């Protein structure tokens, strides 16, 4: 602990220099004179810190600033260890406020920070020790609940500590708004995470806290974004329902505002943001159900309006990353929670939206968007165990793979980071080969889910006919072999399931027996599953 280190250092000084004891006594006397309750005015004025902070207003009346030296900080830390209820903590928090404004105009502060060493020392000590000091003063443990903490609000101890806690929290929020160093921001967030409980007493600070943390979450690099999310999850899960509502609303809006453009370099970050939103919404499914429903209805209304007007401006709203990412968030939400919650109505609406998107944009330029729609339908089907037909969508995509192509573009097209194909790529042989590979992968994923199902031969009948026709007409010689292998694997699986069906005596209406058949066959031959696993291993289309 920082406080123990400081105490040991000062104890050694006392042993070496007895006169240092006189200096400490003088410091204590000075602190008693300097202590001012106005420095921690507790009014909720609602204005932005520090201008609206009563601490700054009272300190601005002091004409001469006191320069904080490293020795002064050491003395204050020692005094806090010796007398936790003494005036040293108030002065240290005043110094902490000044340190949080280091490098900017801090005329309202009574102290001055001369160099980075003092800045670092005071920040390290206060951030490391403040939460523990406050908890010891209040007599609460690290595991204290919100209910237990709120019982203290009427006590005299809390009334004494409250202005100190508020000063500390406000200074931390100011620091988060000013600092750009990622490591320092992560450290501040980690310390505030320990003090989430104290924000209960300051509703205006909670709102500001959430706003700042959401900004760091959506704009920060990997470690900062992760630390910010951990803090948001703590706020949403530990504090009241209003805080959960605030976190849900602000994270969703911030994500929409920042996801207009997707590049290969930021895809991982946006996937993390979507997963973060899903985790927050999964904290309380019942409370979040209506919010998800409202969002899906809004997306459906946009699609319905586009289908009726077909205006160019309206169409752009649907084939935008904002729209697609919003749909993908709810796909992730449903796939995560549908096994344990009744989300059938949400899934039905979502499937309609996705299929509407897929049919709205025919033509080869929108193949990436249509492939994304098929991916999302496969994910929903796999998570829910409900059959969602996608074969027709896949074969619609294969209709646009032509044969007389140039070799001018030999680089692979990034389907994951594009919604629309540039015109110059439409004649590229490599692009059309990639489209066929992707279509096979998606259809294989669909078949893989139902490869052990008793009705697989019927599921695969029409797709097999269409696959054979495609194999006959395509002139892309490089694609004939993978298409033929896919056909062979599907036919082999059909024969296997048909053979097993011939061995049973129950009718298709005997659902219990059908289920037992499925359980038995899932432990049997898995050649098609192995084939699909090999496709995924070689896949170029996985965004991760």
Measure the CA–CA gap between 337 and 210, rounded to whole angstroms: 26
Predicted confidence at residue 24, as pLDDT, reads 52
Q: Is the CB of residue 421 less than 8 Å from the CB of residue 365?
A: yes
Predicted confidence at residue 399, as pLDDT, reads 85
Percent of the chain clearing pLDDT 70 (strictly above): 82
Q: Closest by alpha carbon to 194, among 150, 241, 227?
A: 227
- The full set of domain ranges for the chain reads 1-178, 364-544
Question: What average pLDDT score do residues 78-105 get?
Answer: 82
Question: What average pLDDT score do residues 520-544 get?
Answer: 72
Q: Cβ-count burial of 12 within 10 angstroms (0-12 exposed, 13-18 middle, 19+ buried)?
A: exposed
* Tokens (6 digits) for 139: 């007599």
Predicted confidence at residue 135, as pLDDT, reads 92
* Tokens (6 digits) for 54: 């009563």
Measure the CA–CA gap between 89 and 83, rounded to whole angstroms: 9
Question: In terms of residues, how long is the chain?
Answer: 544
Measure the CA–CA gap between 263 and 248, rounded to whole angstroms: 25
- pLDDT tens sequence across 466-482: 999 999 988 878 888 99
Measure the CA–CA gap between 465 and 402, rounded to whole angstroms: 19
Q: What is the DSSP letter of 112?
A: E
Q: Cβ-count burial of 260 within 10 angstroms (0-12 exposed, 13-18 middle, 19+ buried)?
A: exposed
Cis before residue 342, ω within 30 degrees of 0?
no
Measure the CA–CA gap between 27 and 72, rounded to whole angstroms: 9
CA distance between the termini of the chain: 41
Distant-in-sequence, close-in-space partners of 333: CB < 8 Å, separation ≥ 6: 278, 281, 282, 292
Given a cut of 50, whether residue 37 has pLDDT beyond it is no
Q: Is the CB of residue 521 less than 8 Å from the CB of residue 457?
A: no
Given a cut of 80, whether residue 194 has pLDDT beyond it is yes
Predicted confidence at residue 65, as pLDDT, reads 66
* Tokens (6 digits) for 517: 């058949």
- pLDDT tens sequence across 389-398: 999 999 998 8
pLDDT confidence of 2, banded at 50, 70, 90?
A: low
C-alpha angle with apex 485: 483 to 486, nearest 5 degrees?
65
* Average pLDDT value over all residues in the chain: 84
Cβ neighbour number for residue 364 with a 10 Å cutoff:
18
HSE at residue 422, side-chain half, CA atoms within 13 A, is 7
Distant-in-sequence, close-in-space partners of 262: CB < 8 Å, separation ≥ 6: 270, 321, 325, 417
Q: Is the CB of residue 449 less than 8 Å from the CB of residue 382?
A: yes
Question: What average pLDDT score do residues 440-462 get?
Answer: 92
| Cα distances (Å, whole numbers) of residue 257 to 145, 250, 270, 272, 290 | 35, 10, 12, 16, 22
* Tokens (6 digits) for 508: 């298709």
Q: Is the CB of residue 432 less than 8 Å from the CB of residue 476?
A: yes
pLDDT confidence of 101, banded at 50, 70, 90?
A: confident
Predicted confidence at residue 240, as pLDDT, reads 85
Q: Which residues make beta-bridge pairs with 66?
A: 111
Cis before residue 55, ω within 30 degrees of 0?
no
Query: Which residue has better confidence, 199 or 73?
Result: 199
| Cα distances (Å, whole numbers) of residue 285 to 146, 271, 282, 293, 359 | 22, 21, 5, 12, 31
Place of tokens 């970050």: 269
Predicted confidence at residue 370, as pLDDT, reads 95
Percent of the chain clearing pLDDT 90 (strictly above): 48
Predicted confidence at residue 329, as pLDDT, reads 98
- pLDDT tens sequence across 54-90: 444 443 444 456 777 888 888 888 888 877 777 888 8
HSE at residue 65, side-chain half, CA atoms within 13 A, is 17
* Tokens (6 digits) for 397: 């995509």
- pLDDT tens sequence across 5-14: 555 655 665 5
Predicted confidence at residue 190, as pLDDT, reads 95
Predicted confidence at residue 249, as pLDDT, reads 95
Most confident region among 43-57, 104-118, 276-290, 354-368 by mean pLDDT = 276-290
Q: Closest by alpha carbon to 241, among 206, 194, 277?
A: 206
- pLDDT tens sequence across 203-242: 999 999 999 999 999 999 999 999 999 999 999 999 888 9
- pLDDT tens sequence across 319-368: 899 999 999 999 999 999 999 999 999 999 999 999 999 999 888 899 99
Q: Quick one: how far is CA 61 from the chain centroid?
A: 44
pLDDT confidence of 18, banded at 50, 70, 90?
A: low
Predicted confidence at residue 220, as pLDDT, reads 92
Predicted confidence at residue 403, as pLDDT, reads 55
pLDDT confidence of 542, banded at 50, 70, 90?
A: low
pLDDT confidence of 49, banded at 50, 70, 90?
A: very low
């Amino acid at each position: 602990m920082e406080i123990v280190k400081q105490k040991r250092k000062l104890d050694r000084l006392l042993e070496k220099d007895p006169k240092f004891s006189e200096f400490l006594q003088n410091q204590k006397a000075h602190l008693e004179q300097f202590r001012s309750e106005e420095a921690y005015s507790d009014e909720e004025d609602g204005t932005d810190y520090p201008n609206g902070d009563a601490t700054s207003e009272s300190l601005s009346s002091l004409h001469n600033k006191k320069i904080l030296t490293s020795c002064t900080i050491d003395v204050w830390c020692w005094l806090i260890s010796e007398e936790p209820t003494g005036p040293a903590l108030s002065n240290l928090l005043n110094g902490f406020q000044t340190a949080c404004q280091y490098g900017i105009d801090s005329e309202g502060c009574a102290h001055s920070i001369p160099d980075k060493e003092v800045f670092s020392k005071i920040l390290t000590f206060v951030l490391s020790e403040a939460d523990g000091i406050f908890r010891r003063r209040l007599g609460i443990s690290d595991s204290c609940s919100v209910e237990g903490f709120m019982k203290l609000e009427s006590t005299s101890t809390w009334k004494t500590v409250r202005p100190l806690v508020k000063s500390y929290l406000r200074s931390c929020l100011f620091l988060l708004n000013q600092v750009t160093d990622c490591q320092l921001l992560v450290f501040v967030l980690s310390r505030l995470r320990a003090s989430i409980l104290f924000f209960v007493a300051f509703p205006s600070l909670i709102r500001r806290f959430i706003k700042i943390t959401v900004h760091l979450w959506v704009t920060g690099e990997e470690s900062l974004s992760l630390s910010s999310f951990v803090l948001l999850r703590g706020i949403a899960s530990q504090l009241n329902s209003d805080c959960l509502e605030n976190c849900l609303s602000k994270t969703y809006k911030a994500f929409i505002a920042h996801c207009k453009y997707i590049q290969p370099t930021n895809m991982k970050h946006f996937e993390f943001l979507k997963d973060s939103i899903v985790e927050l919404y999964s904290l309380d499914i019942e409370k979040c159900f209506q919010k998800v429903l409202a969002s899906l209805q809004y997306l459906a209304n946009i699609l319905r309006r586009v289908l009726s007007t077909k205006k160019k401006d309206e169409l752009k709203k649907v084939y935008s990353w904002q729209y697609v990412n919003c749909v993908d968030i709810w796909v992730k939400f449903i796939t995560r929670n549908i096994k344990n919650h009744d989300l059938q109505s949400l899934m039905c609406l979502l499937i309609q939206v996705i299929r509407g998107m897929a049919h709205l944009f025919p033509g080869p330029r929108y193949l990436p968007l249509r492939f994304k729609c098929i991916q999302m339908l496969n994910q929903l089907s796999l998570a829910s165990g409900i059959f969602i037909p996608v074969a027709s969508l896949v074969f619609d995509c294969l209709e646009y793979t032509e044969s007389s192509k140039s070799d001018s573009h030999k680089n692979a097209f990034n389907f994951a980071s594009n919604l629309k194909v540039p015109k110059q790529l439409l004649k590229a042989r490599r692009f059309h080969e990639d489209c066929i590979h992707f279509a096979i992968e998606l259809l294989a994923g669909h078949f893989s889910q139902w490869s052990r199902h008793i009705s697989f031969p019927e599921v695969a009948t029409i797709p097999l006919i269409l696959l054979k026709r495609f194999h006959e007409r395509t002139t892309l010689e490089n694609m004939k072999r993978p298409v033929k292998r896919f056909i062979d694997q599907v036919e082999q699986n059909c024969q296997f399931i048909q053979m097993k069906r011939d061995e049973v005596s129950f009718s298709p209406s005997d659902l219990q027996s059908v289920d037992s058949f499925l359980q038995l066959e899932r432990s049997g031959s898995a050649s098609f599953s192995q084939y699909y696993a090999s496709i995924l291993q070689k896949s170029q289309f996985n965004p991760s």
